[in-house]
Chain A
């Protein structure tokens, strides 16, 4: 539900300030158009991704809880995270502290060492996609569309953590982003692998495991003549985009699928310029797909010196007298 003061506490997470800068740029451009007001959590820290929970759980929960405690001081109880891993960690920490009184007590003892305290249940942790769809709604979004993405075939890729284990949507075959993309005018392809795992940190640790998971997802999207895979998570974007070349080399495939954020698709449909949405920073270029919807190239075409066509008739270079 939209908070009464229209304000959300915003937790960007590390990726949006680095490798996923395009996600933050496009998200900010879009929420401004939609009239939402995000206030960044002051001096937030990393959520620990999946790494800290593997090593030492209590510090991991405490790391996340520092963000919750700081965010809870804002005059809103809605906390929004665009990264699915951050969303999960924030929500899981709140949930587990509520579930386990001993954990709550221990985390708060750790927080007290930094002069902080968090009461589980204070914040309502939400993913950016859910906020946009549930609080703004399809109709209000449709009203903003000035350049429908007509003719573009898109595969909505949700990945794991936005729908599992929390969330109100089907954990295996969610459809809310499908509907959003339809509202934007795109053609949504069937995509059975839409909530399968991108491999997470396995691209760093075990390429064998990761590249096979990525291959299956790309293969499934390609089978439906997809122009663009649309993601909601910086980790999914990075894995599918940056390692697509590795997948092609390993399996002898020729996937050439740009991976864009749903906020970039919204921005395009709202008539914003591709550069203002961070388009151009993807490793697999989106230009060919954007041409399909009449978006001019971001860069001016390079000046190429005029060459004589080799099949042209020979012309005298100088007139003889």
Chain B
């Protein structure tokens, strides 16, 4: 089985990085998760299959699967799992690992998340107009045409602010996030 920096298996690293993740060992392979998932049709592997692959140590296959990226975080699987496995949070862990290893194949999700976080790290608040412009201009400029008319409607209804709003104490937030990133970088994922 492929091992990580501290001699830990892929399975152990996934479990350690997920609050409540230890219960993954109790997976029954019952399939309730995949059967409940609204994104099932778009996924290469159901959550159940992905968990079997994690246990089999198939790190590359798991981290390059499109499955975590189609998870919409609806928590259906989590509340239905007979073993109380935090499936949705495991999906978050897998996304983060895929980014850290550069294994993801569909860049749209990552670009969108990065644009969103960029706004938050700069202003402390999200900024919808800035987000739409930045993400769609870098990722899919043609989309701006169709999103543009919706944006205009939203603006006319007073639902899209033309300017970002910032929190007062940005230095405090920046210090917290910088420290959190420093601690995160010291950990294995």
Contacts and interface: CB of A to CB of B under 8 A. Distances in A.
Given A45-B125, A54-B95, A56-B184, A209 B70 contact: yes
Contact of B88 (A106, A165, A283): A165
B42 interface: yes
A: interface residue count bin? 35 or more
Interface centre among B70, B120, B167 (most CB of A within 10 A): B120
Interface residues of B, number: 61
A99 B22 CA distance: 12
Given A45-B167, A59-B180, A281-B158, A199 B72 contact: yes
A143 B132 CA distance: 44
Contacts of A196: 38, 74
B128 A19 contact: yes
Contacts of B9: none
B144 interface: no
Interface in A134-183: 160-161, 164-165, 171-172
A283 B157 contact: yes
Given A100-B19, A114-B175, A283-B153, A202 B72 contact: yes
B108 interface: yes
Contacts of B161: 18
Interface in A29-62: 43-46, 48-59, 61-62
Contacts of A213: 38, 72
A44 B157 CA distance: 26
25 contacts: A17-B125, A44-B167, A45-B120, A50-B73, A51-B113, A51-B116, A52-B113, A54-B92, A57-B96, A58-B180, A58-B181, A58-B184, A66-B176, A96-B20, A100-B19, A106-B180, A112-B179, A161-B74, A164-B74, A164-B76, A165-B88, A197-B72, A199-B72, A200-B72, A202-B72
Given A110-B183, A114-B169, A114-B176, 10 more contacts: A18-B161, A19-B154, A45-B125, A46-B126, A50-B73, A52-B120, A160-B76, A164-B74, A200-B72, A246-B146
Interface of A: 14, 17-21, 43-46, 48-59, 61-63, 66, 96, 99-100, 103, 106-107, 109-116, 160-161, 164-165, 171-172, 196-197, 199-202, 204-206, 208-209, 213, 242, 246, 280-283
